[in-house]
Structure 1
Amino acid sequence: MSHAARNTEILKEAYRRWNDTKGGSVDHWLSLLAPKINFGSLAQGRPDALSFTQTRESREGVADYLRELTRDWAMDDYRMDVFVAELDRVVAIGRCAWRHKTTGKRVDTPKADVWRFDADGRVVEFFEYYDTAAVIEGARP
């Protein structure tokens, strides 16, 4: 199996767990990461409702991101339907829907994640794209 195929299978399983557990598989995501990682988000840590999206550089930092995300938002659905892989990169494309725990507002947004793996199959880079305006509005009282 090629590295691209292996990496795609790793992500398909992780996304399946993420959806099935409604965000409860944080430990599984963390197990996929190299100790040092470049982990970023389109929102880039905006000081409003998306401060948790600041760039993270370690497994512990990503753990904080995931804890803060699931503290404030409850997952309704998370589906990645298309995977495009070449060499050490995988792009996952789909949709996700979350409900803000304080406002009760639901946000359903297209989602694209770009991953890079090392030769051992550990994630060393991640960047996510989604509708940040809709997420900010979903968190606004």
Structure 2
Amino acid sequence: MGAASTPATRVENAYRQWRESKGKDGDVFLDLMADHCEMRSVLSPRKVDNDLADHRKSKAEAREYFQVLERDWEMIDFPQHRILADGDTVVWIGECHWRNRKTGRDVGSPKVDIWTFEDGKAVAFFEMFDSLAFAQTAGLI
């Protein structure tokens, strides 16, 4: 298996394409995922009434996440700082900067995403960012 096909390299390429598309091409992440990929966020669906907080359990449900993100938010920037990999676990470290389409407010936050791969496909994804700032920017609190 060459370096171009490692999970870390594939994740790095997906985030580069995501940034270049200004958040309009969620397919770059869906292409990494197995059909049964679990997608979770630091946002708790029990505490935040927002479609992005939903716990998703399939690639089809993950597609909804990217549709909601594009509907409700405009990407300003998404710089990468570092990628760490240990076997089938890849950690992306960077920042995200978005504008909420409803409120017109901007939010920037450090961001950490953890990807878990099996047999070359992502089976789990967990994202962490400043959830308080997100909720304030979206007008949820």
TM-score normalised by length of structure 2: 0.91
Deviation per CA, 1:83-132: give whole Å up to 9, x if none.
Answer: 1110110111110100000111000000000000112x211001000000
Provide the secondary structure at the position in 2 that maps to 1:57: coil
Distance 1:88 1:2 in 2: 15
- Counterparts in 2 of 1:55 and 1:2: CA distance versus 1, 3 Å: farther
Deviation per CA, 1:40-90: give whole Å up to 9, x if none.
Answer: 000022443x33221101011000011011100000001121111101101
Q: Is the 8 A contact 2:52 2:69 kept in 1?
A: yes
- The number of residues matched between the two structures is 138
**Percent identical residues:** 34
Distance 1:7 1:109 in 2: 25
Distance 2:113 2:98 in 1: 16
Residue 31 of structure 1: how far off its partner (Å) = 1.4
Q: Which residue of 1 aligns with 2:58?
A: 58
Q: Which residue of 2 aligns with 1:130?
A: 129
Distance 1:27 1:8 in 2: 17
Q: Which amino acid counterpart does residue 52 of structure 2 have in structure 1?
A: F
Q: Which amino acid counterpart does residue 42 of structure 1 have in structure 2?
A: V
Distance 2:38 2:111 in 1: 19
Residue 37 of structure 1: how far off its partner (Å) = 1.1
Structure 2 unmatched runs, 5+ = none
TM-score normalised by length of structure 1: 0.91
Indicate the RMSD between aligned Cα atoms, in angstroms. 1.7
Runs of 4+, deviation exceeding 4 Å: none
Residue 2 of structure 1: how far off its partner (Å) = 7.2
Provide the secondary structure at the position in 1 that maps to 2:95: strand
Distance 1:98 1:47 in 2: 18
Q: Which residue of 1 aligns with 2:68?
A: 68
Q: Which amino acid counterpart does residue 55 of structure 1 have in structure 2?
A: H
Instruction: Work out whether 1:39 is the aligned partner of 2:39.
Output: yes
Distance 1:27 1:128 in 2: 17
Structure 1 unmatched runs, 5+ = none
Residue 24 of structure 1: how far off its partner (Å) = 1.6
Provide the secondary structure at the position in 1 that maps to 2:78: strand
Q: Is the 8 A contact 2:51 2:68 kept in 1?
A: no
